Structure 1
Amino acid sequence: MRHPPPDVASTVCYGRTDLPVDAVRFDACVAAMRASLAARLDGREPVAIHSSPLRRARCAADALAASLGVPVKEDARLAEMDFGVWEMRPWDTLDRNDLDAWARDINGFAPPGGEPARDIVLRMAAWARGLRGVGSAAQDVHVAVAHAGPIRLHTATALRMPTTACLTWALDFGALCHLHIADDGHARLMRWNV
């Protein structure tokens, strides 16, 4: 699930910056997240709520976990992309040549001082592999509260699509992406942006 809206202007580039949630919209967004999740769990109970350490995700994860009576497992691999020196700068002030280079090589280009998409793909894949480790059952339900970039990239990778295929997929604040991972490791996208 994507986190609730952060308290920042939509014209600002933010990623790894630990922004507070938008207090005006937080409660309504979390209530909608709870309802969406309940409608899709079909009576099943998650074993845990996994969360990015960034406040905009962790606050929602804490609220969801409390209502479900499950623990929160914070994991830095679920954090948003690090945009380096681009962080907290208006998009229209960023160097056009850098933005063009990023558009040409989403996987390999890193904003100055930041990380490339391929690093996000690798850390999300490592996180997902860990869910299938010792003591984990194939039918376990795991809920993660994370960020649009990592969710899109992980979904495309899990579906064995090019990572660039997912970049234009809309993912609203508080929206759910439901992936089913079969015993053989193949993923199926059950729901997107609900």
Structure 2
Amino acid sequence: MRHPPPDVAPNVCYGRTDLPVDASRFDATVASMQARLITLLDGRMPVAIHSSPLQRARRAADVLAASLELPVTQDARLAEMDFGAWEMQSWDAIDRHDLDAWAKDVSGFSPPGGESARDLAVRVDAWARGLLGDGVDEQAARDAVYVAVAHAGPIRLHTATALRLPTTACLSWALDFGGICHLRIADDGQARLMRWNG
């Protein structure tokens, strides 16, 4: 699930920056997230609520977890992309040459001091693979329901990885604040996209 809207001006590049939530939209967004999650769960109970450590995700995860009487497992691998020197800069203020270089290699380009989309995809995939854990029955792990509250970048890139698409295949897919991406691991071990932006 994508976090509620952060409190940030439009046209600002933000990723790893720990922005507060937009208080005027938080309660309504989280209420909508809860309702959609309950519908999606259809009586099933998640084994865990995972969250990015960034407060715009963690605050929503805390509310969802409390409503389900579950703890939150915070994991830095679910954090948004680190845009390095671009963080909190107006997109118009970022060097045009750097933006052009990024456009030519969206998967591999790293903003100065930041990380690439490929780096982000690798760390989120490591989080997902870690859900199987040491000694855990793979089929039982596939049957379990995990909820993660994260960010648009990690969600899109993980979806592409899980579906075995090119790294950047899902970057243009619209994902609303509070939107759900539902992936199911089938008995054959392959991921299936059940719902996008639900």
TM-score class, shorter? over 0.9
Match of 2:168 among 160, 164, 170: 164
Task: Give the CA RMSD over aligned residues.
Answer: 0.9
- 1:141 aligned partner: 145
Write the distance in 2 (CA, Å) between the matches of 1:139 and 1:165: 27
- 1:177 aligned partner: 181
Return the offset for 1:128: 0.4
Describe the superposition over 1:19-39 as per-residue Cα deviations: whole angstroms up to 9, x where unpaired: 000000000000000000001
Describe the superposition over 1:102-149 as per-residue Cα deviations: whole angstroms up to 9, x where unpaired: 111111100000001111111111100011123462211000000000
Write the distance in 1 (CA, Å) between the matches of 2:189 and 2:106: 26
Structure 1 unmatched ranges of 5 or more: none
Write the distance in 2 (CA, Å) between the matches of 1:125 and 1:185: 15
Instruction: Provide the secondary structure at the position in 1 that maps to 2:168.
Output: helix
Instruction: Provide the secondary structure at the position in 1 that maps to 2:45.
Output: coil
- 1:103 aligned partner: 103
Return the offset for 1:42: 1.1
Structure 2 unmatched ranges of 5 or more: none
Write the distance in 2 (CA, Å) between the matches of 1:147 and 1:72: 16
Write the distance in 2 (CA, Å) between the matches of 1:98 and 1:153: 21
Instruction: Provide the secondary structure at the position in 2 that maps to 1:124.
Output: helix
Q: TM-score, normalised by structure 2?
A: 0.96
- 1:85 aligned partner: 85
Return the offset for 1:182: 2.1
Amino acid at match of 1:30: V
Instruction: Provide the secondary structure at the position in 1 that maps to 2:70.
Output: coil
Write the distance in 1 (CA, Å) between the matches of 2:188 and 2:96: 43
Return the offset for 1:183: 3.7
State the identity as a percent: 75
Write the distance in 2 (CA, Å) between the matches of 1:164 and 1:127: 19
Write the distance in 2 (CA, Å) between the matches of 1:37 and 1:50: 14
Instruction: Provide the secondary structure at the position in 1 that maps to 2:147.
Output: strand
| Aligned length in residues | 194
